[in-house]
Amino acid sequence: MSTGFVSLRGVNKYFNEVHAVANLDLDVKAGEFFSMLGPSGSGKTTVLRLIAGFENASSGRVVIESQDVTDLAPFDRPVNTVFQDYALFPHMSIQDNVEYGLRTRKVPKAERAKQALEAIDSVKLSHLSQRLPHQLSGGQRQRIALARALVLRPKVLLLDEPLGALDKQLREEMQVELKRIQREAGITFIFVTHDQEEAMRMSDRIAVFNEGSIEQIGTPQEVYEKPQTKFVASFLGVSNIFDGAAAKEIFGSSTMVNIRPERIKLVPADTKLNTGESGVVGTIIEASYIGATTIYLIQTQSGQRVIATRLNEELPDQINRYETGDRVGAVWKSDHSAVIPT
Amino acid sequence: MLRLSATTRAILIGLVAFILIFMYVPLLVLILNSFNLSNISSWPIETFSLKWWEFAITYQPIRTALLNSLIVATGSMIIAAFLGTLVAFALKGYDFFGKATVNLLVVLPIALPGVVTGVAFSNTYSNFLSPAGFNIGYFGMIVAHATFCIVMVFNNVFARLKRMNPSLQEASADLGAGLWQTFRLVTFPQFRTSFVAGALLAFALSFDEVVVTIFTAPPGVDTLPLWILKEMSRPNQASVVNVVATVVILISLIPVYISQRLSRAQDEVR
């Protein structure tokens, strides 16, 4: 029945009265970088903990590599976890931390030292192997947490917002690094994040979580360009959603439609639409120059607001910029708008 | 920091000095008098001598009392360390009906008057256990001490467990360690210092306990504090009492000192 390398079937999780995970089905393919994206409290971390075995499902099955692990303890599952707070053992040296999993597997002392040092070397921290965790910076601890999990060559690596505590620059470095490690080791990564840009940048596929359910699973391009729900459309990037009367006025049907701000062009208000174009006329109520782009907030006569983002390809005084109060046409190619089924 | 005027500072320093003198000078006099050649305590000491120390070391009743004290303190420390840790884990790790009550019941014995605890145990032993043919004897004294020693271990370990990062145990399990291995390699090292500090306090508490001991010691069995108490009624041997009292002070203070040092060292690491 299941085809995934990691599969969840009909999984529910209740914390007392709270329905944290609601009847969830999920298939992660072998070797893919799979992200679980959603706001806090959406159930994504709980799903990760169900796969790791830290939580027991209230109902449903968890299958890893065709083995039903639903009732197995964490130490009997072929997965390893990188924790949000890294969870390095404070009383052990870096090397002892990385050796820990080999020690529980009864790898001989000399062999586990060799493997641990290799793993520490692969994250470029050999010179710190005898330090204690509290003597390392956040970024260094993050790398050690990664080395400690990877030294066991798990089939699946679970990552719980591992980059959340790092500053922006370090986070971007680690995103590239993680992606490289995942590609080279060929390990399945299941990555929890609330940062949509991070998920888009790294993932092969993304599951968008909301209130304990998955709203949509797809490649970054699919979830961005063809959001299946209003929540997905608004959670990933900025969206202009038309429904009801506004949709009827523009598209001739009241189906919900989304158009991304960067696809909208601004033209003088009296410009005629070409075939294959849609648009609205409105007044600019705010124009914000933010460096690479300028963001325009436009309000139509009926009160609908539209956001348009224009790339500043030329110097500000060399392009035809619009100002607050200008009446403009906001125009896009009809096939750039995406119908949202629900 | 709060800044104080010079006068206020001087007054406070004087007050602290006065309190410390008031607390420790009697002890100091007692210790010095243990080196007094005379039969009774006196001031100033005219001749210093190790006579009473030599007497005490070879005097059989004192040696027996010391041994009893060490056995009772060690026994109640072990019981307290084991049970106190178990209760701390139960209250930290699980939610159950009556949790707050259990917490209170564990802490309560330290606040109960020793007389009450003593009478209660004595009655239980002589009115219930003995008629039932179960003569608890010496062990009863250890059990009675353990009831108020538990709280020392419990408080220390519980406070530490509350500050422990719960994902450490998860990380250990995630890396393949079973429950016992996780306890041995990760959890215990995390609270070891508090555990030892609590156990040392429990030892010290039991070692110099008098009231509960009076009620629960079997006939003819003396601990050091009990021996002192009885000896006080024979004033012609006051100097040997001073020797024994000095020993009691040292054996009680050393564990407390080590315990304090351990707790401080632990705070500095984190």
List CB contacts (< 8 A) between B269 and chain A: 90, 134
B93 touches chain A (CB under 8 A): no
Of A74, A104, A134, the CB nearest to B170: A74
Quote the pLDDT of residue A273.
Answer: 87
Contact B255, B248 (CB under 8 A): no
Has residue A1 got a pLDDT over 50?
A: no
B217: left (phi over 0), alpha (psi -120 to 50) or beta: beta
Considering the domain boundaries, does residue B23 fall inside one?
no
Considering the domain boundaries, does residue B113 fall inside one?
yes
Q: Which of A305, A6, A315 is nearest to A155 (CA)?
A: A6
Residue B191 Cα, gap to closest chain A Cα (Å) = 11
Of all residues in chain A, the one with the smallest CA distance to B175 is: A101
What's chain A's average pLDDT?
A: 91
Of B165, B185, B190, the CB nearest to A85: B165
CATH architecture assigned to A241-339: Beta Barrel (2.40)
For A36, phi then psi, to 5°, come to -110, 115
Residue B24 Cα, gap to closest chain A Cα (Å) = 39
DSSP conformational letter for A186: T
Helix and strand numbers (H, E) in chain A are 9, 18
Confidence of residue A295 (pLDDT cuts 50, 70, 90): very high
Considering the domain boundaries, does residue B148 fall inside one?
yes
Confidence of residue B1 (pLDDT cuts 50, 70, 90): low
Give Cα separations from A235 to A126, A159, A209, A306, B112 (angstroms). Answer: 41, 21, 10, 17, 60
Considering the domain boundaries, does residue B33 fall inside one?
no
Quote the pLDDT of residue B128.
Answer: 87
How does pLDDT run across A201-248, given as a tens digit for each residue?
A: 999 999 999 999 999 999 999 999 999 999 999 999 999 998 887 888
Of A81, A88, A104, the CB nearest to B181: A104
B186 touches chain A (CB under 8 A): yes
Q: What is the mean pLDDT of residues A306-325?
A: 84
Considering the domain boundaries, does residue B183 fall inside one?
yes
**Interface contact flag, B176 A90, Cβ < 8 Å:** no
B7 touches chain A (CB under 8 A): no
Q: Of the segments A165-179, A216-230, A259-273, B209-223, which one has the largest average pLDDT value? A: A216-230
Query: Higher-confidence residue: A245 or A99?
Result: A99
CA angle B191, B195, B200 (to 5 degrees): 155
Give Cα separations from B47 to A160, B51, B52, B244 (angstroms). Answer: 75, 11, 12, 19
Residue B174 Cα, gap to closest chain A Cα (Å) = 5
Domain that holds residue B220: 60-269
> Domain A6-235 has what CATH class?
alpha beta
Confidence of residue B267 (pLDDT cuts 50, 70, 90): low
How does pLDDT run across B69-118, given as a tens digit for each residue?
A: 999 999 999 999 999 999 999 998 888 888 899 999 999 988 889 899 99
Considering the domain boundaries, does residue B193 fall inside one?
yes
**Interface contact flag, A73 B173, Cβ < 8 Å:** yes
**Interface contact flag, A101 B176, Cβ < 8 Å:** yes
Considering the domain boundaries, does residue B212 fall inside one?
yes
B181 touches chain A (CB under 8 A): yes
**Interface contact flag, B177 A148, Cβ < 8 Å:** no
B177 touches chain A (CB under 8 A): yes
Query: Residues spanned by CATH 3.40.50.300 within chain A?
Result: 6-235
In A, what residues contact B, Cβ < 8 A? Answer: 52-54, 73-75, 79-81, 83-85, 87-91, 100-101, 103-105, 134, 148-149, 152
**Interface contact flag, A104 B174, Cβ < 8 Å:** no
Of B167, B186, B189, the CB nearest to A85: B167
Residue A75 Cα, gap to closest chain B Cα (Å) = 4
Number of domains in chain B: 1
Of A53, A87, A152, the CB nearest to B171: A87
List CB contacts (< 8 A) between B176 and chain A: 75, 101, 104-105, 152
Considering the domain boundaries, does residue B240 fall inside one?
yes
Strand A59-64 versus strand A6-15 pairing type: antiparallel
Residue partners of B150: CB distance under 8 A and separation at least 6:
B79, B80, B83, B84, B87, B106, B109, B202
Q: What is the mean pLDDT of residues A159-169?
A: 89
